[in-house]
Amino acid sequence: MQNLWIIPLLPLAGFALNGLFGRRFPKAVINTIAVGSVLLAFLWVLKSLSALGAFSGGLEETHVEHYFTWIQSGVLNIGVDFAVDRLTAVMLLIVTGIGTLIHIYAVGYMAHEGGYYRFFAYLNLFMFFMLTLVLAQNFLLLFVGWEGVGLCSYLLIGFYFTEKFATDAGNKAFIVNRIGDFGFSLAIFLITIHFGTLDFGSVFSQAKALPIETSPGWITAIALLLLVGATGKSAQIPLYVWLPDAMAGPTPVSALIHAATMVTAGVYMIARSSSIFLHSPLALNVVAVIGIATAFFAATIGLVQNDIKKVFAYSTVSQLGYMFVGLGTGAFSAGIFHVMTHAFFKALLFLGAGSVIHALSGEQDLRQMGGLAKKIPITCGVLFCASIAIAGVPFTSGYFSKDLILESAYEYAPWMFWVGLFTAGMTAFYVFRAFFLAFTGKYRGKVHHPHESPFVMWGPLAILAALSLGGGFINIPKYLEPLFPLAEGSKLPPLASFSLLSVGLVGIALAYVMYVLAPGLPESLASSFRPIYTLIYNKYFIDEAYDSAVVHPVIDGSRSLLWRTIDAGAIDGTVNGVGKTARAIGSVLRHAQSGYIRSYAGWVVAGAILVVIVMGLTGISFGVTR
Amino acid sequence: MPEIPLPQSVPLAWYLILSAILFSLGVAGFLFRRNVITVFMSIELMLNAVNLSFVTFSYKFKQVDGHIFSFFVMVVAAAEAAVGLAIILTIFKNRQTLEIDEVSSLKN
Amino acid sequence: MDAILFLLFAAIAVICAVNLVLQTHPISSALSLVGVMGALALLYLQLGGEFIAAAQLIVYAGAIMVLFIFVIMLLNAGKERKLPRKLWVTFAGVPLLAGFIAIAAFVIHRMLPVTEGVKFGSMTHGSPQEIGRSLFQTYLLPFEVTSVLILIAILGAVVLASKEIE
Amino acid sequence: MNFFIVSLIKSALVAFVLLTALAYIQWVERKVLAHIQLRVGPRRVGPHGLLQPLADVIKLLTKEDMLPSHVNKFFYFLAPFIAVMFALISIAVIPFGTELKIGSFSTPMQLTDLNIGVLFVLGLSGIGVYGVALAGWASNNKYSLIGGLRSSAQMISYELPMAMAIAAPLLMLNSLSFRELVDGQGGFYFGFIPRWAIFQGPFPQIISFLIFIIAAFAETNRVPFDLPEAENELVAGFHTEYGSMKFAAFFMAEYCNMVTVSCVGALLFLGGWQPLWPAEYGSQFVPTLIFAISGLICLYHGLHPARPFDRFTLPVFGVIFLGIAAIFLIPIVATILLPLFWFLAKVGIILFVYIWIRGTLPRFRYDQLMNFAWTVLFPVAIVNLFVTALSVALTSK
């Protein structure tokens, strides 16, 4: 018994304290509570993991802790129980560790914002739900965490609820997620029907016993529905649209929720239910295709964005795509590995971007930056680390994970490998485009003398920088072997491996050429490829498409049909009718309510006698038999 | 004296029937009496009847649970008596009556 | 022997209960109720419920009923007013009651075998030790909850009784 | 059938002894009170007033049994019976000593050993309230009514601390049957400190003994808690309307309750018939010594030339005492009588304390009485119970 329940409970306590009394607390107290709770959670994670021997080669099999039975109905018995295996251990460390860093960072970043306590309360609540999600030992509990993080992301995206676009973005994220969650819940229902339980242990052991489905069956259905949920949460095609807008939230939120942790929940969930996916090649195939498509697609959009956070948002989408490719090609451990490294460098990217924005007091447009390298050197340095990491420059963290994913992609289908490779190039390109636009050249901004961020902000950045450079040497796949056996790495052909090595550098070089050496080049390119440029620049008009295809019909439909006809006509009519009937009956029955206790008792007794008579005649003997 | 054929051991059913009789007598008291206190006591009588069947079943199954339940019933009855009698006192203070039928302002 | 004892106490109980219902004066009803309780306590003893018997005496007869009598004295409650009782009550009620009891007896006989009977002393689970063990291990939570209930009852009683009606 | 005969004999014996004892306790009380107040007390009837109780009984029996016109007859008659009945029943579970062995035949010195004896006594004491309450209510007289109300309230209130106080030693001795309780108090610490409940580890029950005694006074409506019959406020309280034998019944009930309570106290706290110090230090000669000394004193006073009266009684009693002393020297009889002696001695001491306090203390005011019960006695009892339970739990293996 490692008292795992303490881990999520600490942030919850923080949320309760800050949420209830934060209004009256001074900032120092709020900080202490918020950061302290998460830090404590992190320490507790370390303690319990080391106690379980997670760091010393132990924790081969899952360590389950049952706390109490939550739902007991018929055969279905859902308990509130947490579990830790190596996968969970990795996720726990990522969530709590990066969570702690980002909390610390947020202390500095939000220092001048309103609704301070609210922000940290939400952040802690998010940590609580995220940890519940990660620790859960059955699908329902996981779903609770899943919905919870969705709620928190909604709250935090709409944190500046005075801005229309923020609230809109929040709604968008929420609604799009609902679609995914709908699929997820359907999947849960199917699982309940077919396995009779939701507990991971029994479900997966049953799943392992099943034959592999060559033709789609209910396992495929389950897997695909789970995938729908995952695409919603992890912003994959077609449900990725909410993530870029989600950048309306404060930057720490973008870093924590929309880069490091929550959006990887889908990946985690698929990896967790790998034993279901492994039995449905079709589903795996879909996962992989969706992943590669998303990766490519988002990367192209990322090429031309001018809002620094948007750029990183699309890169997030495309990196998530990579993770899905990893999962879909059966390299689950590689996917998780990329989750970790991505958590490092993407959090770093966002926080760095945040620090830039902070320096420029709110300016997010790349065209308004430039030449910041001298003004905010530390930020520049850490952002450089992050950029090379994501660009997959050899021996940075991003390189290792991406490498693994692409290798398995090559085994799976070479074309996928080449697309992924190209995407990697694009990634390197647009990241460094952003980097050069921001830090080189001469300053184009209006804000005068940008200032370096305080220590609380660049301290975490430094740690993250170190991680995103060296994080790749943590051999996650090896660590996760008990869960996801490694395929014996068949060597890539030399050409492929070489291009894999070089692609990042090429992308960087290209970006250097276009945005440092010959700044005029991009415009001329854009003008020469005008139609494509506009198409990409407007994100392939996906949002507009959704608008006309989904939103308007729905709205009109609800207006005319649901509201006017069904609601006002049928339902209200029925309800009022019921009411009228009830009144009519009541006016008759009212005379029974004489107000005399004994007459009431008389009715009761009459009923009792009736029961006894029935018992006597039918001879029902309640439990007591001869 | 004439020999009455008595069973060597008392059938369990007798106890339950006794409890049924007591219970229905309690019901009758509840229905016929008009004095609040008597009505209240009839309720207590019903509770006792139920206790008896509890204990009987606990004898049948040779388990202590029945006793525990009747114990809880007693506790609840004690609480109920405390509150109920307090209420009766208040009613009496308010209306100077113990007639249950005069406490019928709930009607309509 | 058992049967005789049972019949004796059962008779006492029933007579007292009938008296409870028929008496018009609350005090008489209260005392007959005490009688019922005493008889029941002895029946519990016969059924091997020593602790319950004692509790019956102490809690019910010793505390609750004293409370009743106390209140009756305090309010100095007199006899019920004789009302012209509606005829159907007596003419329908009593046979109804009898029928009810008869059916109940019938059902119980259907439910329980007549063969197995109660012998004094053959039930050994009612000892205070047993009760205590199961009360503080199996039923600990309900037990604590009842304590809270009692507390609430006390507060409610105090509040109700101490309220001054002007 | 042997069992029934023995029980019959025993109950007859106990009843006889008890009733006489009741009568004579009252005589003793009058005497002691008299001496406390520097009077001589009853000494007209019989030698040294020894026949006074008999005279009282005869008087009460022969008085006209008058029935007030305004009473509720049934309950008016019922009340004293209830009172005296439940007072007398509870003696049935009190053990007076160890086994009574005559040759092969042996029987416990006790009417019946209930394994819930303590609860039994508590329950009966609870029911005993009805007698008083009913008496007060039935005699349809405001003094009686108030007396009855007071007594029922008082008894209910004091039952709680009493029960708490009793529960503490039960916790330590871990039984509900008096006999086992007393056996649990046998033995000595360091060979000479008796393991009575009031001395026994882990937590000596001296506090709960005090609480018990105080509550007992209230339960039996004795000074300083005799408000139900506070003559200067309520004429005679609940038995104002009672005369002759019915009055005697209440009287008997009161003294019987005293005796019962004293017995319970002696059994629960003073180790029943366990001697004060072990036999190897000669505890079995205590009775001999006491009786011998008292006998000698009697002889001395009786034969003292300056003493004008009791020329006959005292010497006779002196001789009797010396005889008893001699009896205690006979080993076979001694084994039977020694426990009895110790037990009765302890009961006697507690009874004497009753009388002593009656002679000493004034009466409480009613509100003081209630406040004392609820604000002092009850909390202290609870705390004591907690501490006991804690220490028991900590020391039990």
D80 preceded by a cis bond (ω within 30 of 0): no
Q: Is the sign of the CA dihedral A153, A155, A158, A160 positive or negative? A: negative
Are D82 and D39 members of one domain? no
Q: How confident is the model at residue A355 (pLDDT cuts 50, 70, 90)?
A: confident
Q: What is the mean pLDDT of residues A529-536?
A: 74
Highest mean pLDDT among A488-492, A498-502, B54-58: B54-58
Here the tokens at position D397 are 């293996």
Q: Indicate if the pLDDT at residue A624 is higher than 70.
A: no
Q: What is the mean pLDDT of residues D224-236?
A: 67
pLDDT in tens, D17-67: 888 888 888 888 888 888 888 888 887 777 777 888 888 888 888 887 777
Are D265 and D135 members of one domain? yes
Q: Indicate if the pLDDT at residue D190 is higher than 60.
A: yes
Are D72 and D153 members of one domain? yes
Are D47 and D90 members of one domain? no
* Mean residue pLDDT across chain A: 84
Residues of C in contact with D136 (CB under 8 A): 73
Question: Is B4 part of any domain?
Answer: no
Rounded CA separation C148/B67 (Å): 21
Question: Is B7 part of any domain?
Answer: no
The verdict on a CB contact (< 8 Å) between C29 and B60 is no
Which pLDDT score, from 0 to 100, does residue B1 have?
Answer: 47
Domain extent listing, chain C: 2-126, 127-166
Are D41 and D174 members of one domain? no
Q: Nearest residue of A to residue B30 by CA position? A: A598
Q: Indicate if the pLDDT at residue B89 is higher than 80.
A: yes
Rounded CA separation A425/C85 (Å): 100
Residues B29, B48: contact at Cβ < 8 Å?
A: no
Q: Is A599 on the interface with B (CB under 8 A)?
A: no
> Which structural domain, as residue segments, surrounds residue D253?
63-96+113-274+330-395
Residues A81, A138: contact at Cβ < 8 Å?
A: yes
Question: Is B17 part of any domain?
Answer: no
Closest Cβ–Cβ partner in C108, C125, C160 for B17: C108
What's the gap in Å between the CA of A592 and the closest CA on chain B? 9
Residues D53, D26: contact at Cβ < 8 Å?
A: yes
Q: What is the mean pLDDT of residues A207-231?
A: 85
Q: What is the mean pLDDT of residues D289-300?
A: 86
Are D118 and D39 members of one domain? no
Rounded CA separation C106/A620 (Å): 12
Comparing A223-232, B75-84, C112-121, D349-358, the range with the smallest average pLDDT is C112-121
The pTM of this model reads 0.58
The set of long-range contacts for C28-32, using a CB threshold of 8 Å and a minimum separation of 24, is C28/D74, C29/B29, C29/B33, C29/B37, C29/B38, C29/B41, C30/B37, C30/B41, C30/C65, C30/C68, C30/C69, C30/C72, C31/C69, C31/D75, C31/D78, C31/D130, C31/D134
Are D155 and D179 members of one domain? yes
Which pLDDT score, from 0 to 100, does residue D27 have?
Answer: 85
Q: How confident is the model at residue A187 (pLDDT cuts 50, 70, 90)?
A: very high
Rounded CA separation C118/B18 (Å): 14
Q: Nearest residue of C to residue B87 by CA position? A: C160
Rounded CA separation A294/A39 (Å): 35
Q: Is C106 on the interface with A (CB under 8 A)?
A: yes
- Size of the A and C interface in Cβ pairs below 8 Å: 22
Highest mean pLDDT among A547-561, C31-45, C115-129, D117-131: C31-45
Q: Is C43 on the interface with B (CB under 8 A)?
A: yes
Highest mean pLDDT among A11-15, A370-374, B29-33: A11-15
Rounded CA separation D30/A319 (Å): 105
Query: Given 3.40.80.10, 1.20.120.1200, 1.10.10.60, 1.10.1740.10, which CATH number is that of C2-126?
Result: 1.20.120.1200
Question: Is B68 part of any domain?
Answer: yes
Q: Indicate if the pLDDT at residue B37 is higher than 90.
A: no
DSSP for A284-323? HHHHHHHHHHHHHHHHHHHHH--BHHHHHHHHHHHHHHHH
Share of chain A above pLDDT 90, in %: 12
Question: Is B28 part of any domain?
Answer: no
Are D243 and D358 members of one domain? yes
Number of H helices, E strands in chain A: 28, 2
Task: Give the 3-state secondary structure of residue B99.
Answer: strand
Taking each helix axis from N to C end, the angle separating D73-89 and C26-46, rounded to the nearest 10 degrees, works out to 30
The count of domains in chain B is 1
Rounded CA separation A35/A245 (Å): 27
Are D138 and D251 members of one domain? yes
> Which structural domain, as residue segments, surrounds residue B62?
34-102
Q: Indicate if the pLDDT at residue D4 is higher than 50.
A: yes
The verdict on a CB contact (< 8 Å) between C67 and B85 is yes
Q: How confident is the model at residue A143 (pLDDT cuts 50, 70, 90)?
A: very high
Q: Indicate if the pLDDT at residue A150 is higher than 80.
A: yes
The alpha carbon of A468 is separated from its chain's Cα centroid by a whole number of angstroms, namely: 20
Closest Cβ–Cβ partner in A590, A594, A601 for B31: A601
Q: How confident is the model at residue A619 (pLDDT cuts 50, 70, 90)?
A: low
Q: Is C87 on the interface with B (CB under 8 A)?
A: no
Cα dihedral D221, D227, D232, D235, rounded to 10, equals -70
Q: What is the mean pLDDT of residues D82-96?
A: 84
Q: Indicate if the pLDDT at residue D231 is higher than 70.
A: no
Question: Is B12 part of any domain?
Answer: no
Scored b (16 or more CB within 10 A) or e, A222-231 reads bbbbbbbbbb
Which pLDDT score, from 0 to 100, does residue B5 have?
Answer: 63
Higher-confidence position of B34 and A287: A287
The verdict on a CB contact (< 8 Å) between C126 and B64 is yes
> Three-state secondary structure along A555-604?
HHHHHHHHHHHHHHHHHHHHHHHHHHHHHHHHHHHHHHCCCCHHHHHHHH
* Mean residue pLDDT across chain D: 82
Q: How confident is the model at residue B6 (pLDDT cuts 50, 70, 90)?
A: low
pLDDT in tens, A31-65: 888 999 999 999 999 988 888 887 877 777 888 88
* CATH number reported for the structural domain that contains residue B52 in this entry: 1.10.287.3510
Q: Nearest residue of C to residue B65 by CA position? A: C134
Comparing A139-153, A224-238, A490-504, D250-264, the range with the smallest average pLDDT is A490-504
The verdict on a CB contact (< 8 Å) between D133 and C74 is no
What's the gap in Å between the CA of C158 and the closest CA on chain D? 14
Rounded CA separation D236/D136 (Å): 10
User: Measured between alpha carbons, how far is residue A69 from residues A65, A66, A76, C14, D386 in Å?
Assistant: 12, 8, 11, 46, 34
What's the gap in Å between the CA of D123 and the closest CA on chain C? 4
Closest Cβ–Cβ partner in C96, C100, C110 for A621: C110
Are D19 and D133 members of one domain? no
- Closest to A85 (Cα-Cα) out of A4, A30, A153: A4
Q: How confident is the model at residue A625 (pLDDT cuts 50, 70, 90)?
A: very low
Question: Is B14 part of any domain?
Answer: no
Question: Is D121 part of any domain?
Answer: yes
The count of domains in chain D is 2
The number of residues making up chain D comes to 397
Residues of C in contact with D123 (CB under 8 A): 41, 54, 57-58, 61-62
pLDDT in tens, A439-491: 887 777 776 677 777 888 888 888 888 888 888 888 888 888 888 877 666 66
Closest Cβ–Cβ partner in B27, B60, B100 for A605: B27
Q: What is the mean pLDDT of residues A88-92?
A: 90
Which pLDDT score, from 0 to 100, does residue C116 have?
Answer: 67
pLDDT in tens, A195-216: 888 888 888 888 888 888 777 7
Are D153 and D53 members of one domain? no
Share of chain C above pLDDT 70, in %: 83
Which pLDDT score, from 0 to 100, does residue C81 have?
Answer: 67
Which pLDDT score, from 0 to 100, does residue C90 have?
Answer: 67
Are D34 and D183 members of one domain? no
